[in-house]
Amino acid sequence: MPAHTNSNARYLNTTEVDSALVRLAGAYPQLSRLVALPEPSVEGVTCHALEIGSTPDGGKDCVVLTGGVHAREWGSCEVLVLLAADLLEAYRRGTGLAYGGTRFDAAQVRALLDGLSVVVFPLVNPDGRHYSQTADPMWRKNRNRAHASGGPACVGVDINRNFDFLFDFTTAFAPNAGPRVSDDPCDYQTYQGPHPFSEPETRNVRWLLDTYAGTRWFVDVHSYSEDMLYIWGDDENQSADPDQNFRNPHYDGKRGLPHDTAYAEYIPESDADTALELAQEFCAGLHGVRGGTYTPMSGFHLYPTCGTSDDYAYSRHIVDGSKSKVLAFTIEWGKEDPNSDAASFHPPWAEMQRIVKDVDAGLVRFCLAALKT
């Protein structure tokens, strides 16, 4: 039995996120496998993921969970590291898991790790997190200087705009849609990079999806707005007209406007229903902890986007029929409360621990529901 450490006194720094995974892999060799991502970050940091499950992947259905894409959303890493720690300890001890009022019995914990491969990649963007935790707390992008030609704001790429989905947004979207993305290298927050997958951090996520070919679900953990988002993010969803899809140039210049009849992104009704159902399960699990209310909705209702991880993950099987279908989600943890400075990208750690319990309860319930689909 490993010597567990009561180590949750502070946010994890970048080194600790990685060393936590290494220690979990060492403590639970029968239940977990440390995965070295193939590309170091821009500043040379080697990243790890942790695959957990009672047997190695071997064709089991897989859920890939990513966090730390946006540097300033610190708690996303803790959400995933501590979820892995909970599942591993509970499985080995043969216990249930309780997060406030949300409880899972030992049989559910066992079913989850017997039936699924859970791949957690808690820190996609280590350079950005380090910079946010030690210099500019509002930093969001990676720390790539290759595209910089001006001041300090001209450093970095928004990893969650660097995936290959409607990357040419000036062509794809309506002129007045205003998607949250920029092709200006000096945009402080949402520079998309010079081309899709220009960044090693983005390519590492793609590598996970390629490597775990049995991936059926993908969840990217972000902050904040208390939402559980599912695809799509470029426009409203519709299930009536397959021709209205992101690959059809006939609809260039028409995407991204709400409440219009010109365009809405196609998703088969069965996928839309399942995505909503799983998002609702996440929200129900979270609600049970302490009564929090997250909203399940498509990503477009946050704001129009392109180049995001979730839309890319789901689009893969449409672009390449040899790839598995991945229902994809984005969690936006954390309150939006203009009367509280605890409601921000960096809640006080005491509040962040409560949020971790909320989200981890939601994720366990999400995984259990996914197993049944």
Partner 1 sequence: MPPDNSHDDKILRVRVTAKDADTLRALLRDERPDVGGRPRTHADGSVGIDAYVPARKAEALEQPGVTVKVVGDATATGKARQTEVGEGDRFADPSAVPRGLGDKVEE
Catalytically annotated residues: 332
Sole window of 185-193, 211-219, 273-281, 321-329 interacting with partner 1 (rule: CB under 8 A): 185-193
The distance of closest approach from Cβ of residue 212 to partner 1 in the complex, given in angstroms and rounded to an integer, is 23
Cα–Cα distance between 7 and 202 in angstroms, integer?
30
**Nearer to partner 1 among residue 207 and residue 349 (C-beta):** 349
Q: Does residue 38 belong to the site contacting partner 1 (CB under 8 A)?
A: no
Sole window of 202-210, 235-243, 268-276, 334-342 interacting with partner 1 (rule: CB under 8 A): 334-342
* Tokens read off for 118: 């859970």
Q: Does residue 189 belong to the site contacting partner 1 (CB under 8 A)?
A: yes
* Tokens read off for 76: 């996303």
Identified binder of partner 1 from the candidate list 61, 227, 234, 281, rule CB under 8 A:
227
Cα–Cα distance between 90 and 65 in angstroms, integer?
19
DSSP class of residue 161 equals G
Identified binder of partner 1 from the candidate list 29, 44, 58, 151, rule CB under 8 A:
151
> Burial level of 36, CB count in 10 A (0-12/13-18/19+)?
exposed
* Tokens read off for 329: 């989600």
The distance of closest approach from Cβ of residue 316 to partner 1 in the complex, given in angstroms and rounded to an integer, is 26
Q: Which of residues 254-293 bind partner 1 (CB under 8 A)?
A: 258
**Nearer to partner 1 among residue 153 and residue 318 (C-beta):** 153
Sole window of 13-21, 199-207, 311-319, 323-331 interacting with partner 1 (rule: CB under 8 A): 13-21
Q: Which of residues 93-112 bind partner 1 (CB under 8 A)?
A: 93-99, 103, 105-106
Cα–Cα distance between 337 and 344 in angstroms, integer?
8
* Pure H helices in 116-262: 126-134, 169-172, 200-211
Cα–Cα distance between 12 and 7 in angstroms, integer?
9
Identified binder of partner 1 from the candidate list 89, 234, 235, 265, rule CB under 8 A:
89
Q: Does residue 344 belong to the site contacting partner 1 (CB under 8 A)?
A: yes
Q: Does residue 13 belong to the site contacting partner 1 (CB under 8 A)?
A: yes
Q: Does residue 43 belong to the site contacting partner 1 (CB under 8 A)?
A: no
User: What is the number of alpha carbons within 13 Å of residue 255 lying toward its C-beta?
Assistant: 32
Identified binder of partner 1 from the candidate list 60, 301, 323, 325, rule CB under 8 A:
301
Cα–Cα distance between 283 and 292 in angstroms, integer?
8
Cα–Cα distance between 50 and 60 in angstroms, integer?
16
Sole window of 29-37, 131-139, 213-221, 233-241 interacting with partner 1 (rule: CB under 8 A): 131-139
Cα–Cα distance between 100 and 358 in angstroms, integer?
8
Q: Are 309 and 232 in contact (CB under 8 A)?
A: no
The distance of closest approach from Cβ of residue 137 to partner 1 in the complex, given in angstroms and rounded to an integer, is 2
**Nearer to partner 1 among residue 266 and residue 366 (C-beta):** 366
Q: Does residue 47 belong to the site contacting partner 1 (CB under 8 A)?
A: no
The distance of closest approach from Cβ of residue 35 to partner 1 in the complex, given in angstroms and rounded to an integer, is 17
Q: Does residue 361 belong to the site contacting partner 1 (CB under 8 A)?
A: yes
Query: Which of 286, 305, 288, 279 has its CA nearest to residue 362?
Result: 286
Q: Does residue 356 belong to the site contacting partner 1 (CB under 8 A)?
A: yes
Chain mean position to CA 292: 20
The distance of closest approach from Cβ of residue 58 to partner 1 in the complex, given in angstroms and rounded to an integer, is 25
**Nearer to partner 1 among residue 86 and residue 316 (C-beta):** 86
> Distances from the Cα of 356 to the Cαs of 59, 271, 325, 365, in angstroms?
30, 28, 28, 14
> Distances from the Cα of 198 to the Cαs of 86, 116, 130, 203, 313, in angstroms?
35, 31, 21, 8, 17
